[in-house]
Copies of this chain bind each other. A is one copy, B any other.
Amino acid sequence: MSADHRICDPLDVATIKADFPILARQVHGRRLVYLDSAASSQKPRQVLDAMQDFSVTSYANVHRGVYSIAVEADEGFEAARDAVARFIGAPSSRSVVFTKNVTEAINLVAHSWGRSNLGAGDSILLTEMEHHANIVPWLMLAEEKGFEIRYLPVADDHTLDLTDLDRLIDGVKLVSVTAMSNVLGTLNPIERLAAAAHAAGALILVDAAQWVPHLPTDVVAWDADFVGFTGHKLLGPSGIGVLWAREELLEAMPAFLGGGAMIRDVRLDGWTPNEIPWKFEAGTPPITEAVGLHAAIDYLTGLGMEAVRKHEVALTGYALRTLNERFGDDITIHGPSEPAQRGGVLSLAFRDVHPHDLSQILDQHGVCVRAGHHCAKPLMRRLGVGATARASLYVYNDESDVDALADALEATSTFFG
């Protein structure tokens, strides 16, 4: 029934699917239809192999061991940093800090920059569509320091409501905003917000967890001050995230976690910090994970981030059309209605079936969607729902996956008629 609007896809998804071993798996006798990449993506053979190869040939602790495999490990680790810098348009690798996830990246900024720059009488600006990772660190710090937290509201079309931007941004020291909502798919106008922040004398932190995996990223074009993202959402391994920040900021910020590698000297009565970026990398970093992230970046670069974006716009359009045509008023898809203004994250309300029940029934058909508040409870309250069922698309998804989702949705009527 949807054959009439087959999309013109710049990616060869059949070939891509074959790169992802887990997609060959069956669930309840059906092929796995993985539609939960916004929570975490799957890894291609190329990433798994890179990590395995590294582990069986060049693994050692990093930080300038003298022997050959330690040199190779160091080179592998620092090459990953270089690859990250290139991937996001960072002017230098010195400004790329490896963390365990984007949550730690944001907490690092809160503890280091925030703790020394925010106090009573100050204020910061977040939005109502932030992930808890970009709310709770600020709530925690505000409890301690007594600054004010303001929120940009979400408009009824599920974009940011910028009507009151001038008033809300006036006097704030930081704007911290997601580049793409993990619930609505909304793409936020980062360049405009950065300009407004700078005009107001504020810095801007961009939570790019959902952006970097799906669209070309250029931190300089954004004119951002801090940008964080996470490896496991861009075909990479768990256990690694990235904080990029302008060099001058990193230079000026106090260290966060203390320990090995982040020091220049330690005495019983004091210590001095190492250079950036190592000043912010206490202890043994996620070494093999950095190598995996590098391979993931290479994989995506091989596909081309422009092509990845085009694929997702087309497939999101196909999904919106298919679901709306097949289910009409029985389905509500949150977020902007134009595919070009959003990412491939489809938060659904379907008849009166609760998202948990929806996800449970879809699973019987091999279809993986996440049900819950997606770590965005304030946004859920704004939407007036307790939870949504979220289907999210990535490079390994195609129309057949969307069709499988639609077919499985029909099947909910067995129990919830």
Binding site for B on A (CB under 8 A): 21-22, 25, 27-28, 32, 34, 36, 39-40, 42-43, 48, 52, 55-57, 59-61, 64-70, 100-104, 106-107, 110-111, 128, 131-133, 135-140, 149, 151, 230, 232, 237-241, 255, 257-263, 265-271, 282-289, 356, 359-360, 362-363, 367-372, 375, 377-378, 381
A74 to chain B, nearest CB (A): 12
Residues of B within 8 A of A137 (CB): 257-259
Cβ A107 vs Cβ B282 within 8 A: yes
Chain B minimum-CB-distance residue to A281: B103
Contact of B69 with A283 in the complex, beta carbons under 8 Å: no
Cβ A258 vs Cβ B140 within 8 A:
yes
List, in ascending order, chain B residues with CB within 8 A of A285's CB: 238-239
Cβ-defined partner of A101 (8 Å) among B22, B107, B283: B283
In the complex, the answer to whether A61 meets B288 with C-beta atoms within 8 Å is: no
Asked if residues A60 and B39 are in contact (CB atoms below 8 Å), the reply is yes
Q: A43: which B residues are within 8 A, CB to CB?
A: 55, 59
The chain B residue with its CB closest to the CB of A380 is B266
**Please, how many angstroms separate the alpha-carbon atoms of A57 and B36 in the complex?**
15
Given contacts A65-B370, A110-B258, A136-B259, 8 further A-B contacts (CB under 8 A): A36-B67, A48-B52, A107-B282, A131-B260, A133-B282, A135-B271, A139-B258, A139-B271
Known: A36-B61, A266-B132. A356 touches B139 (CB 8 A): no
User: Which has the most chain B C-beta neighbours within 10 Å: A28, A356, A363?
Assistant: A363
Given contacts A56-B21, A57-B22, contact A286 B363 (CB under 8 A): no
Structural contact, A61 and B40, CB atoms closer than 8 A = yes
Distance from A417 Cβ to chain B, minimum over Cβ atoms (Å):
20
Residue numbers in B under 8 Å from A362 (CB-CB):
67
**Contacts A61-B232, A107-B282 hold; do A48 and B39 have CB atoms under 8 A apart?**
no
* Contact, CB under 8 Å: A238 / B100: no
> With a CB–CB cut-off of 8 A, which chain B residues contact A131?
259-260
A208 to chain B, nearest CB (A): 15
In the complex formed, the residue of B with least CB distance to A126 is B268
A268: chain B residues at CB < 8 Å are 128, 135, 149, 151, 378
Min CB gap A77→B, angstroms: 10
Distance in Å: Cβ of A247 to nearest Cβ of chain B:
22
**Would you mind naming 6 contact pairs between A and B with Cβ atoms under 8 Å apart?**
A67-B360, A100-B104, A104-B257, A139-B269, A238-B285, A268-B378
> Assuming the A-B contacts A259-B133, A359-B66, are A287 and B151 also in contact, with contact meaning beta carbons closer than 8 angstroms in the complex?
no
A363 to B268, CA, bound (A): 33
Question: Which residue of B40, B240, B368 contacts A67 across the interface (Cβ within 8 Å)?
Answer: B368
